[in-house]
Structure 1
Amino acid sequence: MSEVCLWLTPKIFDDLRDPRPAIEAFLDHYGEWIDGRAVTIVFATSNGDHLLCWGGDRTAGFDWARYNCFAADVAPRAHNLDWLRRVRDGGERSFNPYSAGPMMILSEQQIDYDVLAGCYAAVRDVARARGIELTLLEYLEPGPEFCRSDFKTHRHPEVAVAGADSGGHIVPGILDVTLPLAADERAYAAYPRGFASGLPAGDFVAAQAAAYVNDFGLDGVLLGNQFGLLGFWDPAHAPPVTPERTAGIGRFFAAMRAAFGPRQIYWMDTYWRADLERSAWGMPPQAYAAMDAILVSAFAVLVERTEIVPNLRSKAALRGPRVLFGLDFADPWYWYRTWLDDRRTYLYQRKVLAEHADLIDGVSFFGNDTFGHLVPDGPLTETLDTVRKAGR
């Protein structure tokens, strides 16, 4: 196992304007995972709309993923009353609302692009001082799951009409890379004078993401939650496959590769095998060649356990992108703790890691929970022991 891909969110910072202490603590805590491995950090600021809206003004502010169980316009009081009645009073331990937890704001800190640039720089500086060769990625989510999504739900809802489950609530705002954008006169990093109607959303995302990465000195992006493929997490949710949709998806990934050049493109998959991604979602086979790494998703709240190994085998068989196996401890945006709440899947993930280490180039996991705390030593150590016993 040559790579560890750690996610962090701004929730780890007591003071966004003084990020170094939290970064030092983060790298200390995961030191044994980092030692001797290639290190990637995914800095998951928001749903990625701050990237999509970036126009060059570093003083502009934006919302960030500072919530537990954000669900757009869903009334928090109604959700929390349902949670109280079913979970606290009724003892229910369901998928949701139990796993999502109550709706709440975890931080009142404000962020703008200048503050965020300071956080990126601090991650770089602390890693460099420790001799860590770091790959630093920003996160780009296709939907509105974790905070307000100005680009998808306000500026350009015409390309984000699909919805997805967000903490037990279906909310609209999933970006479809195959749809055309309406005209927009706002300044964007990739389109300083705006753009005319008809620009494919995928073309915009590719050019804008590359411009953002370049402007902030990052190494690439992680495309989350099967970015590019509509119908989250289950083939039954996918729209009909048409030649036009498949061509549009292929165009998006080709545009990403062309725009990014040597910079890194990581992609979080559908939880399902590559053959199903092709047949059910219309993923063109050549699109995988645009990726530097694929995160094989295995989050307990969503995965079909019987699909984990077949999916892992299918992604390894591509013989192209590096294969990162997704481990599950806790979630930065929901309150569940997998080693407590779904022990069966938690242990099965470690079993797969031990028995199929030859298929895996690295692992990926969330480095902080919804409260901004790091993964506790107990589950972290027992998982690292599994890696060591597998000789990886």
Structure 2
Amino acid sequence: MSAVRPPLRRTNLEVSLKPFDAFDQATLTATVRRIFDQWRTLLDAAEECSVLLWISDGSEILDWAGDLDDTLEWARFIGFSNTDAQPYGETKDPERVAVPYREGTAPITYRDLGRLVATVKAVGAEHGRPTRVGATFDPGPEFAPSDFKFARHPEVVARGEDVGIGPIIAMVRHFSTLHGDDRPYAAFPDGIPQGTSFGEFLGRQAQDYLTALGFDYLWLSNGFGFSSYAWSELGESFDGVRFRSERTAELRERALGFWRDLSAHLTFPVQVRGTNHTAGIDIGADSVPALEVYEGGHLESPPPNSPWGPLNEDFGIEMSGYMSRVALLPAGAEGYRFRFYANDPWFWQQPWWDFYHREPFDIYLPLAVARVRPDGTVQPPTEVNVLSVDTARGVLDERCGREVGIHVTTALESAPDAPGPLVWVYPFREYHEAMAADPTTIDGPHFEDWYLTSTINAGLPLNTVLATDDLGPALASGALAGRILVVPAGALTDDVAAHLGAHAEAGGTVLIYGSLARTGAAGRDLVGLAVARTGLDGDLELHTELPGDSAPGGGLPSTLRHVAHLSAGPVTEVVRGTDDGAPRPAAAGPAGVARVLATVSRDGTERVFASVRPAGEGSVLWVRGSSPFAYAEPDARGVRAHVPHDRIRLADAGALARDLLAVAGLHVSHELRTAGSGRAVHAIHRHDGAYWFSGYLPDTTTRIRLAMPEGAPLLQHTECWYDGGAAVYQLPKSFHLECRVLVRQATAGLLRCREVAPFPMHMSRGTRVSGLVDAAVTLLLPPSRGEVRLDVDGVPVVPAADPAGHAVVLEHVTGTLTVMWEER
């Protein structure tokens, strides 16, 4: 790697103060050197580095009075702090209440912090690395005692009871205002005037604090600046029953006021963690004006992937949230970051050990993400953050640095260099502009993003994202030829519909999801359906012609639960030319009319749920979709929790979007042990001509069936059972596998793909495939390859050229195929 430009712009190591058991200069220097040494593999992959210091909970900034010899409380605890203030929505068990992580801990001074910041930069210079140091602000109650938040200024803390969603964790509301306070602060030496905005207070305090201690940037944690309820699906504008769009205008203006006030007083770069959700879910739950925040120049980079995946096993929301946030970059941003939850410096869990069990799926899966630029090139993550390099006990374990660093750099070696087979066309701009123009639309992005999340959890291999802003030029570049464009109905403006129609006419595939009830004529024409005056919701009977998952002992559930208020309304779509009754599931209809592939019905009334419309050389697919959950009745505390649909009793609407891809030749399904068995969350990206399959199998008793338009993919150094045009795999918990061989044949059987030693000496790579019977074989070799040698059972063969010019094709192959090629 040293011979070429490092693949990352910056490696960011996050650390608490716990590893620093003393603050004399020798100890500080030795500890920082140890951190740099342990993470050398990852640091060597970047041009620069930074260290993000988790000191307290941000109260050290709020309390800062300008005296370096003042002491401060720091996050020297394991467990929940501030429990006397009851900020958690529940009473914490005594064993979970914060206790010092070791004996003899004590407050430290701001001068100590300043020496640590200077030491980090000095050690970085020793290693020849440009090094920045960041300060953190967390709005929550967890990390350290906070007199500011819970005694002096509780008025800035948002509680779920304030907005009718029941008691949940209480965090600082970014657009709150402060009561008067006579205490001197660095930026307010005469105290805080009544009514001072929190944005102004934090901005002025942080400006003074960062300057005095030598910091370079500020990190806003846990959704701060976006939502006061960042961990909840509910919020300021959605209580689980009703979207409170009448609050949207006020919420947008107050949120933007925070960012204007902060930026007016803070000249340092600001980085953000964001919420646990997508940009669209944030619109529905909290009316978050992220577009205006991005375009206002307030952020150095967009929020990274959330660390919530390992905590709640929902890796679909990690992927959809990540992609939605990076589809469009903030003004001036050079790239975006991947963040890995390696250790927790505050609580008992240490994810690399006890959540992941040293399995790297949550490294390879999000590092398969890439955004498409207007010129059709792709941009994978440009920075990596590690939260954190130390454990809650202050341990710096060199195994973590070595193992995580190796997996991250291995993923970077095969980073996406072209759009993947599926590209999510995300309407970041349209969603936000619709919210501003008509707040009653906020339920649409909320539903569409939750549905897309459910499709990823069902096995939709989606990991490339493109903002609608860049759709036209990206299509014109030719880089999206042959790709399946996955598009929410909320994106179907006239211009977007025209671009999508042209893509289909030219031989591409478009997969649209969501309700057509609010879509204009151009969008409905693209899909080829009409909208009836009445719709269906509740428990419906699903009928589908699509191939899908299988389970022993009979089929999967056929009852689909459509919760209208969570799903942008009832199911209203019908075939064009019919009345308000049943759709016409004809094998083929008139030009411009969709063919029905799935319906829902009740009491003799049917509605279309999935369809396909041929368009030129390609096709337009559509699936209505349903929310993947309902809301339970409020519990004794008044909390209304979301409840995922039970897949043992109810059909999974998310799987239908995945099943529709079979129309375009991309087949993903699972052989389940039970209807409720886990399915793969996976990604397919391109690198150097190959497909790369990366992902997570939550239930290793599940088998996955895969087929691509070119044939069944043979994953490098694996075996599969070939049957019915697909390869059936029993994959491990984590996988990151290259595919350069795809096969079609009539005979079922075992196929084996093995890496072999390249021969003769000038060759670079070798692959051997056995079990072929009169097979058509497509080889995806590097575009810049040199000599290629092919033989079947030792007899040289000559390939036919692939029409697209990107692959090598062999016909009627029986026996063992060996491929050698020279890399350039």
Of 204, 211, 216 in structure 2, the residue corresponding to residue 214 of structure 1 is 211
Structure 1 residues 197-223: Cα deviation after superposition (integer angstroms, max 9, x where no partner): 111122211221122112222111100
Structure 1 residues 353-377: Cα deviation after superposition (integer angstroms, max 9, x where no partner): 4422543222211111111122542
Residue number in structure 2 paired with 1:296: 305
TM-fit CA distance, 1:387: 2.9
Percent of pairs identical after alignment?
23
Amino acid at match of 1:234: S
Contact 1:139 1:221 (C-alpha < 8 Å) held by counterparts: yes
Residue number in structure 2 paired with 1:268: 273
Q: Hey, what's the Cα distance between the residues in 2 that align with 1:220 and 1:39? A: 13
Q: Hey, what's the Cα distance between the residues in 1 that align with 2:360 and 2:236? A: 30
TM-fit CA distance, 1:27: 1.0
Does 1:79 pair with 2:88?
no
Contact 1:47 1:144 (C-alpha < 8 Å) held by counterparts: yes
SS of 1:206's equivalent in the other structure is helix
Does 1:131 pair with 2:133?
no
Contact 2:367 2:380 (C-alpha < 8 Å) held by counterparts: no
Q: Hey, what's the Cα distance between the residues in 1 that align with 2:202 and 2:313? A: 28
Q: Hey, what's the Cα distance between the residues in 1 that align with 2:92 and 2:183? A: 37
Does 1:367 pair with 2:389?
yes
Q: Hey, what's the Cα distance between the residues in 2 that align with 1:130 and 1:5? A: 15
Of 231, 234, 246 in structure 2, the residue corresponding to residue 233 of structure 1 is 231
Contact 1:232 1:238 (C-alpha < 8 Å) held by counterparts: no
Amino acid at match of 2:49: V
SS of 1:309's equivalent in the other structure is helix
**RMSD across aligned positions (CA):** 2.7
Structure 1 residues 25-69: Cα deviation after superposition (integer angstroms, max 9, x where no partner): 111111221123321211110001011110112222121001111
Residue number in structure 2 paired with 1:259: 265
TM-fit CA distance, 1:388: 3.7
In structure 1, list runs of 5 or more residues that go unmatched.
Answer: 82-100, 165-169
TM-fit CA distance, 1:391: 4.4
SS of 1:272's equivalent in the other structure is coil
Does 1:15 pair with 2:12?
no
Contact 1:44 1:138 (C-alpha < 8 Å) held by counterparts: yes
Structure 1 residues 199-251: Cα deviation after superposition (integer angstroms, max 9, x where no partner): 11222112211221122221111000011221131222455553222212111
Of 2, 5, 8 in structure 1, the residue corresponding to residue 12 of structure 2 is 5
Does 1:245 pair with 2:266?
no
Q: Hey, what's the Cα distance between the residues in 2 that align with 1:354 and 1:156? A: 41
Does 1:387 pair with 2:411?
yes
Higher relative contact order (CA 8 A, sep 6+): 1
Q: Hey, what's the Cα distance between the residues in 2 that align with 1:216 and 1:384? A: 32
Contact 1:20 1:122 (C-alpha < 8 Å) held by counterparts: yes
SS of 2:55's equivalent in the other structure is coil
Amino acid at match of 2:396: L
TM-fit CA distance, 1:259: 2.5
Of 114, 119, 123 in structure 2, the residue corresponding to residue 117 of structure 1 is 114
Q: Hey, what's the Cα distance between the residues in 1 that align with 2:179 and 2:212? A: 25
Q: Hey, what's the Cα distance between the residues in 1 that align with 2:312 and 2:207? A: 30
Does 1:348 pair with 2:353?
no
Amino acid at match of 1:79: D
Amino acid at match of 2:411: V
Residue number in structure 1 paired with 2:149: 152
Residue number in structure 1 paired with 2:99: 104
Q: Hey, what's the Cα distance between the residues in 1 that align with 2:260 and 2:37? A: 38
Amino acid at match of 2:150: T
TM-score by length of 2: 0.42
Structure 1 residues 235-273: Cα deviation after superposition (integer angstroms, max 9, x where no partner): 224555532222121111222233233x21000011211
Structure 1 residues 173-210: Cα deviation after superposition (integer angstroms, max 9, x where no partner): 52112222111122212212223211112221122112
Between structure 1 and structure 2, the one with the greater Rg is 2
SS of 1:154's equivalent in the other structure is helix
Residue number in structure 2 paired with 1:279: 284
**Number of aligned pairs?**
366
Of 34, 44, 69 in structure 1, the residue corresponding to residue 43 of structure 2 is 34
Amino acid at match of 1:364: N
In structure 2, list runs of 5 or more residues that go unmatched.
Answer: 1-7, 162-166, 239-246, 371-378, 417-824
Contact 1:6 1:41 (C-alpha < 8 Å) held by counterparts: yes
Residue number in structure 2 paired with 1:310: 320
Q: Name the one with the larger helix percent.
A: 1
Amino acid at match of 1:338: P
After TM superposition, the structure 1 stretch with the greater mean CA deviation from structure 2, 124-133 or 364-373, is: 124-133
Q: Name the one with the larger strand percent.
A: 2
Against the structure 1 CA distance between its residues 17 and 172, is the aligned structure 2 distance closer, same or farther, given a 3 Å change threshold?
A: farther
